[in-house]
Structure 1
């Protein structure tokens, strides 16, 4: 067992799961004061050209860079650390399920974008009607990719968490989402990946010929 695998083994999922649930719970009070929070964040993002540029970068390009980083990590771990690769694959399955859950919730809840009803200056063009707001897909994907990579390489967790958080805040800053959209999205992305990572190996172990991969992925 590698040192990284040992660190995953010794880390119980309770704390990250509680963080994910806490973010989702925070979306409720954020929903109550959604207009005030949205106006404050967009105003802060537009208070200087530098902050506006940062908001636009993290709202759009940063997620793509995170995806590319994940792809690079997959290539590196395939050649250098197969246990990390197995964990990343499990996390990747969670990313797919998290996105599917987010897209389904959008179609069920059909929350309109804040920029369609709250008239403030925003850094990007407001999405059209039918491009729903809750939860934020960008935030779901940012948290899901960050969690998957952190499970693969634990020492990167704080850098990845900061990146996901900045992407979520930026989505509010450019005017695309309410704060409760991104809070719930971050929690959802984390939670789905963690659930898949911690429970799928138990099912996979029962399939012929997959016990070793499941053992590496689960870190046991």
Structure 2
């Protein structure tokens, strides 16, 4: 007599089964980080000229109001998309909800890292260094420039969405880039500030998020394995 082992299907609502971690996202994210870092390094020597051209040109253009709106409020759109994914995953796909929760930990870690780096580097805002009209008012002294917090969070949230639902890239990637670019256009950051912030958000969210997710998976496998061992000892098999 032969027996076959039945592998249960994934119950999405209860969260049983293995969460779908898209490993293909990792090399793409690493390539994005390297590319953004390269842009930051290239932009650094010409930072003031680039800022004057972009911020000054935007302030004198018809798109000044739109640039200021995106720079100030654009991040809320990424927050709304991420929150919607979290709610949908909670009701329809618990493994994906676990991925989003882990990526959320990465987003918090990215923001914390950007704040610490700001306090260590203390780079002055370009609107205090370059004499040019800007769309947004210059932040108060002591609110440092590098890296951009907005860009860090934008990169982190976009990465969290892509780790959970890769097909959302046409929506979240342009939105994150628009938020970062608007921070320069509105006159509150250099180009290297926003590209570094994006890179920091992508990198830390991937590393911390996937580490948290892998740790949670190991804990869950151990907790489900213990009752099985106890049952085998009880039945004598």
- Equivalent runs, 1:1-220 vs 2, <5 Å: 8-9=21-22, 11-49=24-62, 51-207=63-219
CA distance in 2 between partners of 1:211 and 1:103 (Å) = 37
Aligned residues of 2:100 and 2:164 also touching (Cα < 8 A):
yes
Aligned residues of 2:25 and 2:163 also touching (Cα < 8 A):
no
Aligned residues of 1:103 and 1:137 also touching (Cα < 8 A):
yes
* Two-structure CA RMSD over aligned residues (Å): 2.0
Q: What is the Cα deviation at residue 67 of structure 1? A: 1.2
Q: What is the Cα deviation at residue 164 of structure 1? A: 0.4
Aligned residues of 1:147 and 1:157 also touching (Cα < 8 A):
no
TM-score by length of 2: 0.81
**Equivalences, count:** 208
* Unaligned segments of structure 1, at least 5 residues: 213-220
Aligned residues of 2:103 and 2:210 also touching (Cα < 8 A):
no
Task: Name the structure where helix makes up a greater proportion of residues.
Answer: 1
TM-score by length of 1: 0.87
* Unaligned segments of structure 2, at least 5 residues: 1-9, 13-18, 225-237
